[in-house]
Structure 1
Amino acid sequence: MSMPLRHRRTLSATVVDETVAAAATLVGKWHPDDDGASLFLHASASEADHFLHAALDLHRAMLFFASDPTNAHNGNGLAQAHHLLDTAMRRLQLELRLLLSPPARGEHHARTLHALAQAMMTAGYGKECISTFKERRRAAMAATLRRLHIVVQLHKLTWDQVDDNIQSWLAAARVAFSSVFPAEKELCDTVFAGDASVGDAVFEDVASHQATNLVAVAEAAVARARRAPERLFRVLDVHDALTEVLPAIMSVFGDRSEVAKRARSVLFKAGEAAQGALGSLEAAIEKEPSKATAAGGAVHPLTRYVMNYLVFLADYEGALDRINQQPSIGWLLRVLMRKIEAKGGSCREVALRHLFLANNTHYVGRKVRGCNKLQQVLGDGDDEELARATRRHVEAYVRAVWEKVLKAIAAADGVEAALMETVAMQDNWVTADQSMGDALRAAATAAVVPKYRMFYRRHGAALRLTPGDVNAMIGALFNAASHPDRP
């Protein structure tokens, strides 16, 4: 014989009343106004688990009592269950704050947070759960970025201030996009594992603004660089960093996210800025006055500047390749060499012209050989051509400067006067470095001393200068003081 319906309801109500009473005891023990200790951090795992179950029991009790609102007992039970559930939810909201605040660090309690969030969402308190989670995680992320020393207001700084800060920003941004944001995404996915759309939305609200601010710093740096050649390296630094982190940005935020769109836009603008800076450098080389040579045939400041620039630029071979500027270094080198040739052509004295060209070509070759990356980019062809060009200019210089002496020896007339005049002429002329001086002295010695020795054998009685004297005079040319070995 089956139990009457009224009797079954009475039995169920009794069970529910007992459940509510048990929950009331636990909620009273962990009342939200008593925040001296944390249920999830300081109590036992079983007690924390019982509290979550009690909260869910209260929610089920509400549904039970609400199923028959005409019953006076149910009405009272509903009010009591609702009050207790609201109190329990306020306790869970407090626990959520405690778990997500230092020193607890929510990422270390992800499973607990998931259980807590699931309980609040199931009980209809998802809005409060999400609001508290986002509030605490935004604060935590801001603190993390501050610890990384990320300056997010670079768009308000001058270029010099940007230049001073961009390297630390680049290092920190790499950490943020490759580690901080992915960890935050994983935390959101774990806590709100029951609904992926909720986890995605929460992460978007927590992290998107911070990530966009980081990209805005890169935007500001690129915008301030304009087309200035001396700012190119910072642009390439930004390009390198964004290229490195872009896969992580798209993976964490999504291909179509605002962060990913802006990052791709900055990459494109960085490429444009780099091309503009290289074009500006080419124009500056071309505009350098051709008649402005260096005193004494020395290495021209333009040669030093451009070669030091290319040495630095070689470190960015990968970035140049990505923006389709791989040939830029060899192209700029050829522009420089054309300008050097033009400057040499403006020298009135043929010997000084070849000395200038020998010094500058030698300096260029030395910088190339001294930088493995630059040598790899240019290849063996350019290096060999520079060496051949240097030898040609050294030979041409020796022929031009010692021509008068060699003619005098051949004519057996005025040899010593020609020697003294030629040596004096070279007194204020300089060489690029010690090795260039050695090369010039060796070439001059080989061209002059053997012929003077033969001349001395025939006319030695009438001469004051011995072959040893001539050899010493040539050896004294271009001493160390005349060619400071500057970079």
Structure 2
Amino acid sequence: MASPSPRRHALPPPGHHRRTLSSTLVDESVAAAAALVHKWHPDDAPAGGSLFLHGAEEDEARRFLRAAADLHRAMLFFASDVAHGSSHGLVEAQALLQTAMRRLDLELRVLLDDIDSIQSDHAADASRSRNNICAVAEAMMAAGYGKECISTFKTRRRAALTASLRRLLGFSPPVDHLHKITWDQLDARIIPSWLAAATAAFGSLFPAEKDLCDAVFAGDNAAVGEAVFAAVANDQATGLLAVTEAAAARARRAPERLFRVLDVHDALTEALPALLSVFGDGSEVAARAALSVAKVGEAARGALGSLEAAIQKEPSKATAAGGAVHPLTRYVMNYVVFLADYKEGLALLYDYDYDSDSSEQASPSVIHRLVSALLSKLEAKAGCYREAALSYLFLANNTRYVANKVAGSGQLRGVLGDGWAEAQSAKARAHVGVYVRAAWGKVTSLCTQQGGAEPEAVEAAVMESVGMQEQWVAADDETGEALRAAATAAVVPKYRMFYRRHGAAVRLTPGDVTAMIAALFGGPLDLVSQRHQEDPNPYRDPTRSPRQLFT
């Protein structure tokens, strides 16, 4: 019987061989990763510094990231091979991975805090810091630690944004108890800070935060980035918008608060494009911004409507003594001079088709309406004077004041039109002409009366006219000069002819009449003595005022 042939040693199944080889490689990668993880153990962070900062080798940071990825792959390998006794390897890899993720979470915190301290002129450092943040976040997300990564990112960036806004504003939005803050508190502190910071906040801070979110959560994680940015920035943005709504609510249709409201409206509309670009047209913040714009606009229109109504309701019988410029005229014109600085914002508020290069508009502006309401009220007030001359003096003074205000303001002149002030000046000159005829008509009529009036009657008429006007006033020196010049031109030539006809029978010389007119409306009294030297009269007492000479 033949002896049996020797048995050949069978080779291990190919699958088993590959498993053994793979296990060896995985064990080696875990061992290498363990050494690096232990070196940069998160519990030793204060002494060990940072992987990415404080002089650590950049290559070692990259090796740590690869080690974290190796541990994640090892964990997956061991999890699929537990039937062959790899549970110990799974536990070890998972523990090491958790430690590595703790370290990366710590690094993420440090990097997120550090990026705000980098000066804007160090672009290379800022770019390197952002790349490091992206690399750490990517490693954490890939290893299944996305929830922890997102939580850390939101917490740190929300705190950083709050701190940046606090430095910019002087307070942190949302402002606590904003509904309890008075207008004076808003006006003194909060609104000025908001105005100074709104453009920078919506134009720089929020876009920078959005760029960081987009960079860290890119690609398949873009939707995550949108949600993270909303969690970081929405409350801060709506807190800023709440300040504008508080300003609108406290304005209470009060005209004296309008300019603050217009400042807020201008700043808000200026920041709106950047806000919509960052947060998106359909976002919660965009909806809140649209509501804020509407509320601020409503408050501004309400304040202007209140002013227009107040002008119209001003009692017509409340006239100005001596035909002076009425306080209402000064208030309204000073108001509209400032208001004209907001012409572009007003065009948005009232949907004007305003062309900054032309005074032509499709419809009258609110400034037109306010000035028109004022002029109508001045006409009504003028009718309440008992003396016709004083009525027209009042109109001349107030119309001249209005015209000068418009002429002196380039913005207001641009709104009302270049010819508007000139037209008002022409009206003022016409009022002066009517005033002179009303105030001096009796004198000129007697001087030119057929057959000649009695000298006593003419002199009495002169004294009556002068006495009537002694307490009347001119809007300004220019208007006073125009009034005196017009009266002199209308009266003195006729009186001189009368004086020549009656000679010594007339005690008042033409020089006396000229001096009396010259002393009206704040004119120089020393003209009286000058006229006495030019045109002496034996009945004249140079120590007496023009009004007292013949009384």
TM-score (norm 2): 0.84
**Bigger relative contact order, structure 1 or 2 (CA pairs below 8 A, ≥6 apart):** 1
Residues in 2 aligned to 1:481 and 1:275: alpha-carbon distance in whole angstroms: 48
Deviations 1:41-89 (A, max 9, x none): 02111111111011101111111111111222x2111111111111010
Question: Is contact 1:358-1:394 (8 Å) kept?
Answer: yes
Aligned to 1:20: 30
Residues in 2 aligned to 1:122 and 1:325: alpha-carbon distance in whole angstroms: 53
Match of 1:473 among 516, 519, 531: 516
Residues in 2 aligned to 1:226 and 1:318: alpha-carbon distance in whole angstroms: 23
Rate the CA distance shift 1:70–1:383 in 2: closer, same or farther, 3 A: same
Match of 1:54 among 67, 71, 74: 67
Deviations 1:301-344 (A, max 9, x none): 11111111111111111111112265111111111111000000
Aligned to 1:420: 463
Residues in 1 aligned to 2:150 and 2:509: alpha-carbon distance in whole angstroms: 99
Aligned to 1:120: 140
Aligned to 2:549: none
The reply on whether 1:161 has 2:185 as its aligned counterpart is yes
Aligned to 2:239: 213
Question: Is contact 2:261-2:299 (8 Å) kept?
Answer: yes
Question: Is contact 2:244-2:296 (8 Å) kept?
Answer: no
Match of 2:421 among 362, 383, 400: 383
Deviations 1:407-434 (A, max 9, x none): 3322432223322332222111111111
Rate the CA distance shift 1:480–1:174 in 2: closer, same or farther, 3 A: farther
The residue matched to 2:82 in structure 1 has which SS?
coil
Aligned to 1:145: 165
Q: What is the correspondence of 1:165-176 to structure 2 with a 5 Å cutoff? A: 165-176=190-201
Question: Is contact 1:369-1:375 (8 Å) kept?
Answer: yes
Q: What is the correspondence of 1:47-196 to structure 2 with a 5 Å cutoff? A: 47-72=60-85, 74-102=86-114, 105=117, 109-149=129-169, 151=171, 152=173, 153=175, 154-164=178-188, 165-194=190-219, 195-196=221-222
Letter in 1 for 2:311: I
The reply on whether 1:44 has 2:57 as its aligned counterpart is yes
Letter in 2 for 1:51: F
Question: Is contact 2:75-2:93 (8 Å) kept?
Answer: yes
Q: CA deviation at 1:280?
A: 1.4
Aligned to 2:388: 350
Residues in 1 aligned to 2:179 and 2:53: alpha-carbon distance in whole angstroms: 42
Aligned to 1:485: none
Pair member with larger Rg:
2
Q: Once superposed, what is the RMSD of the aligned Cα atoms?
A: 1.9
Deviations 1:163-196 (A, max 9, x none): 2231321221111111100000000111112410
Q: CA deviation at 1:105?
A: 4.0
Question: Is contact 2:254-2:306 (8 Å) kept?
Answer: yes
Aligned to 2:311: 285
Q: CA deviation at 1:104?
A: 6.0
Q: CA deviation at 1:382?
A: 2.8
Moved beyond 6 Å, runs of 4+: none
Residues in 1 aligned to 2:472 and 2:195: alpha-carbon distance in whole angstroms: 47
Question: Is contact 2:404-2:421 (8 Å) kept?
Answer: no
Rate the CA distance shift 1:272–1:447 in 2: closer, same or farther, 3 A: same
Q: CA deviation at 1:478?
A: 1.1
Q: CA deviation at 1:469?
A: 2.6
Letter in 2 for 1:343: K
Deviations 1:240-274 (A, max 9, x none): 12211111111111111111111111212222222
Match of 1:228 among 233, 254, 257: 254
Q: CA deviation at 1:366?
A: 0.8
Identity across the alignment (%) = 65
Q: CA deviation at 1:2?
A: 10
Question: Is contact 1:69-1:75 (8 Å) kept?
Answer: yes
Deviations 1:399-458 (A, max 9, x none): 111122213322432223322332222111111111100110110111011112222222
The reply on whether 1:444 has 2:487 as its aligned counterpart is yes
Contiguous gaps of at least 5 residues in structure 1: 483-487
Question: Is contact 1:155-1:217 (8 Å) kept?
Answer: no
Letter in 1 for 2:509: T
Question: Is contact 2:443-2:458 (8 Å) kept?
Answer: yes
The residue matched to 1:402 in structure 2 has which SS?
helix
Moved more, 263-272 or 120-129: 263-272
Q: What is the correspondence of 1:321-400 to structure 2 with a 5 Å cutoff? A: 321-324=347-350, 326=352, 327-400=365-438
Letter in 1 for 2:14: P
Letter in 2 for 1:19: S
Question: Is contact 1:225-1:231 (8 Å) kept?
Answer: yes
Residues in 1 aligned to 2:44 and 2:380: alpha-carbon distance in whole angstroms: 86
Question: Is contact 2:400-2:479 (8 Å) kept?
Answer: yes
